[in-house]
Amino acid sequence: MIFLQGDPVGACFIVIEGWVKLYRLTSSGNEAVVAVFTRGQSFAEAAAFAGGKYPVSGEAATDVTLLSVPADTLIDQIRLNPEIGLAMLASTSKHLQMLVQQIEQLKAHTGPQRVAEFLVTLCDGQTGACTIGLPYDKALIAGRLGMQPESLSRAFQRLRCIGVAIDHSTATIDDVGVLERYAFEERGDGL
């Protein structure tokens, strides 16, 4: 555990290695995954700048190495070097864009399309056939994509007909281009 929702803000963080999830607990006690971060990405900057309490909980999703930047150090450095504040605003803007994209995915794409888009991002520009490791457990993948684990399993099954096979934590994709086209089809045109 890195911090809990409602804890006083002490720092912002940069992921050096591994994966971190940010989530909120719903009124029914379920986890709603807000974001997942990996190497080179930062989180909790806005909370550190604004002070107060963390609006989400942060937890390591895998073994993780973090750089912790104390909130007071961050504020002092922004006063000395305003470019740091501008960089922080840019990072916060990227986080907002990511959240808007997630909302769009939830509203405009089917579950299998969201899974397809997630897999395409893991292919990192590869074309043709591709074998990739899933970066973290399937329950977190489901949460990140706004799905229940059972829905994720059904989505994996539906993607078989376009050449996607999942074996434990490995995905084999026959043709990344086909998967990418499927991911971005208009809703209702897909499987």
Model pLDDT for residues 20-45, shown as the tens digit of each residue: 999 998 888 888 999 999 999 999 98
Higher pLDDT, 98 or 150: 150
Distance of CA 162 to the CA centre of its chain: 24
Q: Write down the CATH number for the domain with range 109-183.
A: 1.10.10.10
CATH topology of domain 11-105: Jelly Rolls (2.60.120)
pTM, two decimals, is 0.78
**CA separation for the pair 137, 144 (Å, rounded):** 11
- The answer to whether the beta carbons of residues 140 and 189 sit under 8 Å apart is no
Collect all residues with Cβ–Cβ distance below 8 Å to 36 and sequence separation of at least 6.
Answer: 19, 20, 21, 22, 61, 136, 140, 144
Half-sphere exposure of 190 (CA within 13 A, CB side): 26
Please report, for the chain, the start and end positions of each structural domain, with discontinuous segments joined by +: 11-105, 109-183
Phi-psi region of 32 (alpha: psi -120 to 50; beta: other; left: phi over 0): beta
pLDDT per residue as tens digits for the range 88-105: 888 888 888 888 887 877
CATH topology match: 11-105 vs 109-183: no
pLDDT for 187? 56
